[in-house]
Structure 1
């Protein structure tokens, strides 16, 4: 009888089953600051329909583009309670079909969530290369590229469950926050494992897991008082993205027409003398041929990105974003995107990848920068990546002391801290998934310890790269796959399981235990998180600096020489005055701060000053 009733309805032209293939966002929440919700509806000739809503909900705008397969419907959700309503699609007054749409109840205090900050340590994971928790999802019938662990650029099978399975390892290490490289669907035919060429931004790639798996990752982190940062891409999608294959509008992406590669000359964003042609080529050119460049100056595109980002924060209970290729975006568009996220979540944090080699040029992009203000620009992005410190760390520990060589490069980097409006909101790192491995550059564990000492005590938010804490290496000149090797023990047939103490070699444990010691010590040290810095010009390739508050002082000494050095402590009297002893964190010993301090060759000291 039910079947006959449905047949009758179809005969009269009333199909209660959806003819809209997609509605995005797929659902929303009540009580959002972003209450003017723009729904993107996609389906064959969907724009030919008239739109009504079955309840007393205000439709404030309906936009049709040149592509009849899209319609954009804006509704006012302010003061609407959680619940479900119908979006009705009609022609000539006849209801043809309707779609239910849900406003969910928002998590308590969701708007006040606290993002990552300088009290945190971020552990960066290359998602496909960390751990394979579910071997059965390594390949998917839906996805073009299949797993091939023997291929350096292939998919190896790391997934969300693999990360969840080893959260206790990350927690033991002393990291407090996980940043995984993107997990959204990437349906490229090859080299899809990095997932920066996304084909659906509302869906976790099935080879990594499901949307619910990602939400569970956030939940498991929060149970451990840890945080989750999503790697978000605003500048480009992949050529296989379903919207790229049927563009809502010609200017949804930057057309030349078609493809033209960016020049990568980001300086044209703020160069007062830049030609329009050069600026356009950098910002509107495609990052690579397989990644069409999104046009954030198109308000429909920009709002789509804003809502997608907010949707993931709410859905997965995120604590932050790392935004890929931040400075390649239309700079006015990315500022609007960033401000919309921060308006929704005032205590959230976003770190922008601005890969430049000049502090003033990086500082331009930080929120409330006085340098940006010279051009009436504010990106609203709270945190920048300290690439100039990274540049220095790639060279310092293999150099002898000269006027411009050795540890003076670290000193010179901090000299320019005055350029940044918020020096605590710098992401400090020696390496990431795009750079050479530090253990390849510096094959001795002693140099690794110097680097970790610095990152653990310097101003800013430390970020470490998975596997370095056990001495993992990789050559950038071989290819990206070599600096993104599989973590030993992440696969069932791995002979070396470095996730557990007894599975690590003696050398791997030396790397791990040093990292664990300094990072766990750092957790409860507000003087490191928010203290001020006083640094002394390096002498004989020995760099000393102090972190201090009104109640606490830490002395850090880094000896970059192979021989031990004798420091005359009278030089540091202004910071040692009143402190005649200290507790040295690395050696776990009390020391006297009298006249001289002996620092072993290629070693460091972290001294909690005591009266």
Structure 2
């Protein structure tokens, strides 16, 4: 019996030793809990890839790699991070092995380089030939009610709460792409879709908690890829709403920052003064400039410090990764002018060097053409300060502000009111380095609804005629095309209402012609007619603008090139007006008739026109 007892004891001892070894091995493997970027691509201009390894005391390890050159290993004051830069130049796609060694203990970690899509670097971004359809992602359509809430995320669906999550998702967008295309849109801009784990208000998703992962309540990364593919099948484009200025305070790093200065701290929280003029004002004080740039947008959105090279490179790589991974056609960058000036310019330049024909439009919410134009690439205004954003496109808040202030309600044609305000706005076009590459719009997800401040169909019609024919890239906000309204005074939830028919059980489905009311159909038909006409009109996309000083609140302008000419007439008067053609001969020249785009009627150009109150015409000249 004794030998048998010794044998069992030895077996138990060996088993315990094996368990201890296994436990130690598992512990060492578990050191790495995150790798970002999760993979990369070969044959990239951004060939030096800085991989962030995160895990308990990961920095205590020495790291090596098989068949890869490690150019730099950077540790920070936080031992849970290790930033490893590898050289991927001329490295073929494949899976590579990193070895982490701490004394006698070691473990390995695979990392993959994938092949790029053919001609990926030459992708063509959105441009003035496009019409952009802006979707509030949570409020458009609920294609999969099963993902409305997630056990992994705090805020649950509550459609009864106008500021809660309602369940709109990626599948809902995919199901209605044909509707969007029918409307004449050629590009889709959904508000951010990456994870936002705030306890409340997370539906807008501008306070992201994981910038490599689609929020589970919107879908999955794979569904986002499907959205991109389905758009491309239809000849349409996908614009990602990107946030460089801040994250959400529930971002996974916030509990364990890589460095103290990963975010701007004062120490801790200080709110921005929102005075973006400090970024170019030669008279601005240093403290005001710093507080604008480094202050937090709101308390729940920690401000990222783009002066930290690790942060800047993280943001550059994340942006490039998404373009390559999801086959994107553009970025709209939130709060562009709040980020560190040098940092955001370097971020933009790096992306445009990787994708020279890509497009990025930045939000610089300013109501001055000069101040907006400062932020566009190669601005002569910014050059005075030896600054260049490298940003291809900016948003025309000047035009949007004039429309939102009620210019179409100024019907008497006074010296400084009515159409002359739009004329004056366009007279500053010389300030923009590329006037065709600016985003023009009447509203978005942060402003009052167009149909709220102009409830009359006639004024919606005039607004759409302007957006369809002015220089730049027109953007439409979801639901406007069926007359949806919303009062920002009632809170953001009111300007972000659910699209009728987007939810199972909705009493009305405005996605279908049969489901629309006659009034909704009137809005839809006008919008679709204008923007489908615009699709192949090079004269509108890139033609020159010649405009005439408004008289009696009638604004006339021409879009023209060597092949075509279009005459636009906007009568913003409450009274009938008679328009003599004599004044416009420098543009009419040889043309004798014009075909009205909306009525298809032939209009003689050798006699005066009678204009109905609050009416307009778009004439293709013959």
Q: Same fold (TM over 0.5)?
A: yes
Larger Rg: 2
Q: Tell me the residue number matched to 1:99.
A: 109
**Separation (CA, whole Å) in 2 of partners of 1:589 and 1:33:** 53
1:135-190 CA-partner distances (Å, limit 9, x unpaired): 01000001100000010100000000000000000000000000000000000000
Q: What's the CA shift for 1:39?
A: 0.3
**Aligned residue runs from structure 1 range 222-233, under 5 A:** 222-233=232-243
Kept in 2: contact 1:16–1:98 (CA 8 A) = no
Q: Tell me the residue number matched to 1:339.
A: 349
Do structure 1's residue 533 and structure 2's residue 545 form an aligned pair?
yes
SS at match of 2:22: helix
**Separation (CA, whole Å) in 1 of partners of 2:516 and 2:17:** 67
1:257-313 CA-partner distances (Å, limit 9, x unpaired): 000100001111111111111111110100000000000000000000000000100
Structure 1 gaps of 5+ residues are none
Pick one of 292, 316, 327 that aligns with 1:306: 316
**Aligned residue runs from structure 1 range 540-555, under 5 A:** 540-555=552-567
Q: What's the CA shift for 1:9?
A: 6.0
Q: What's the CA shift for 1:548?
A: 0.2
With normalisation by structure 1, the TM-score equals: 0.98
Residues 588 and 246 of structure 1, relative CA distance in 2, 3 Å threshold: same
Pick one of 461, 467, 470 that aligns with 1:449: 461
**Separation (CA, whole Å) in 2 of partners of 1:352 and 1:111:** 21
With normalisation by structure 2, the TM-score equals: 0.96
Do structure 1's residue 475 and structure 2's residue 471 form an aligned pair?
no
Do structure 1's residue 85 and structure 2's residue 96 form an aligned pair?
yes
Q: What's the CA shift for 1:563?
A: 2.6
Q: What's the CA shift for 1:598?
A: 1.9
SS at match of 2:266: coil
Kept in 1: contact 2:196–2:248 (CA 8 A) = yes
SS at match of 2:465: helix
> Structure 1 stretch 233-242 or stretch 593-602: which is displaced more?
593-602
Q: Tell me the residue number matched to 1:61.
A: 72
Q: What's the CA shift for 1:13?
A: 5.5
Do structure 1's residue 50 and structure 2's residue 62 form an aligned pair?
yes
**Aligned residue runs from structure 1 range 62-461, under 5 A:** 62-92=73-103, 94-394=104-404, 395-400=406-411, 401-461=413-473
Do structure 1's residue 566 and structure 2's residue 608 form an aligned pair?
no
Q: Tell me the residue number matched to 2:6.
A: none
**Separation (CA, whole Å) in 2 of partners of 1:192 and 1:13:** 39
**Separation (CA, whole Å) in 2 of partners of 1:228 and 1:490:** 20
**Separation (CA, whole Å) in 2 of partners of 1:438 and 1:8:** 67
Q: What's the CA shift for 1:599?
A: 2.0
**Separation (CA, whole Å) in 2 of partners of 1:464 and 1:11:** 57
1:109-140 CA-partner distances (Å, limit 9, x unpaired): 00000000000000000000000000010000
Residues 587 and 11 of structure 1, relative CA distance in 2, 3 Å threshold: closer
> Structure 1 stretch 596-605 or stretch 166-175: which is displaced more?
596-605
Do structure 1's residue 512 and structure 2's residue 524 form an aligned pair?
yes
Residues 309 and 217 of structure 1, relative CA distance in 2, 3 Å threshold: same
Kept in 1: contact 2:571–2:612 (CA 8 A) = yes
**Separation (CA, whole Å) in 2 of partners of 1:599 and 1:385:** 32
Kept in 1: contact 2:31–2:54 (CA 8 A) = no
1:327-373 CA-partner distances (Å, limit 9, x unpaired): 00000000000000000000000000000011111111100000010
**Separation (CA, whole Å) in 2 of partners of 1:267 and 1:529:** 31
May I ask how many residue pairs the two structures share in their alignment? 606
**Separation (CA, whole Å) in 2 of partners of 1:14 and 1:352:** 46
* Coordinate RMSD, CA, aligned: 1.4
**Separation (CA, whole Å) in 1 of partners of 2:118 and 2:267:** 47
Structure 2 gaps of 5+ residues are 1-14
SS at match of 1:494: coil
**Separation (CA, whole Å) in 2 of partners of 1:117 and 1:232:** 18
Kept in 2: contact 1:259–1:289 (CA 8 A) = yes
